[in-house]
Amino acid sequence: MNKEAFLCELREELFGLPQEDIDERISFYREMIDDRIEDGIPEEDAIAEIGTVESVKKQIMSEIPLARLVKEKVKPKRRLRVWEIVLLVLGSPVWIPLVIAAAAVIFAVYASIWALVVSAYAADLSLAAGVIAAFAGIGQFLKAGNPAGALFSFGAGVACAGLAILLFFACAWITKAVLKLSGRILFTTKSAFVGKEA
């Protein structure tokens, strides 16, 4: 793929972003490719080093705030007519609570997912505390002359330690998965605002 084809495809993928952002990004990548060509890298290789159009689009979308995309999308292309304003005002007792309810449901689901992650870390912390308590109990059982209790306490401590380590890795994996899911949801939301128009 040559430079012009790459930049043309990138411009098409970014359609829906504010025009000044598109122009800024296109000129940035044009300059980046030109700099690499000046350094002696063939044009196709310079473009391959930058990445695919899709990966560049993801990078650009991650840098642009969602609020800016929403503002650009909802900005009216023309002035509202009187009857449209009247409908908005008369319909506000219906659509405002619906928007608030939808936002509350989305926030509640997201908060619930993170509450599960925090709960898993709390369980892991309690297992770690169980290890300390079990090993402290060994000394108490030995003082009392109960070697069977000390052996049981040692076994419980080792079991808690194993479970705590296992749960820690599970918690770390779950946290990464939730963060990745959050990133995908944000990217999908941004893409919906930038989506191609007919």
pLDDT tens by residue, 6-49: 888 888 888 777 788 888 888 998 898 888 888 888 888 888 88
| Residue 76 banded pLDDT, cuts 50, 70, 90 | low
**Measured between alpha carbons, how far is residue 79 from residues 76, 85, 91, 175 in Å?**
7, 10, 19, 46
Q: What is the mean pLDDT of the chain?
A: 88
Q: What number of residues does the chain have?
A: 198
Q: Indicate if the pLDDT at residue 193 is higher than 80.
A: no
pLDDT of amino acid 195: 59
Mapped onto helix, strand or coil, the DSSP state of residue 144 is coil
**Measured between alpha carbons, how far is residue 35 from residues 12, 24, 47, 121, 168 in Å?**
23, 16, 11, 48, 46
Q: Is 61 exposed, middle or buried (0-12, 13-18, 19+ CB in 10 A)?
A: buried
Q: Indicate if the pLDDT at residue 142 is higher than 70.
A: yes
pLDDT of amino acid 178: 94
| Residue 143 banded pLDDT, cuts 50, 70, 90 | very high
More confident residue, 154 or 44: 154
The pTM for the full model equals: 0.62
Q: Indicate if the pLDDT at residue 198 is higher than 50.
A: no
Quick one: which of 130, 116, 140 has its CA closest to 165?
130
Structure tokens at 44: 């196709």
The answer to whether 69 and 193 are in contact (CB under 8 A) is yes
Q: Indicate if the pLDDT at residue 196 is higher than 70.
A: no
More confident residue, 180 or 1: 180
Euclidean distance between CA atoms 109 and 115, whole angstroms: 10
pLDDT of amino acid 120: 95
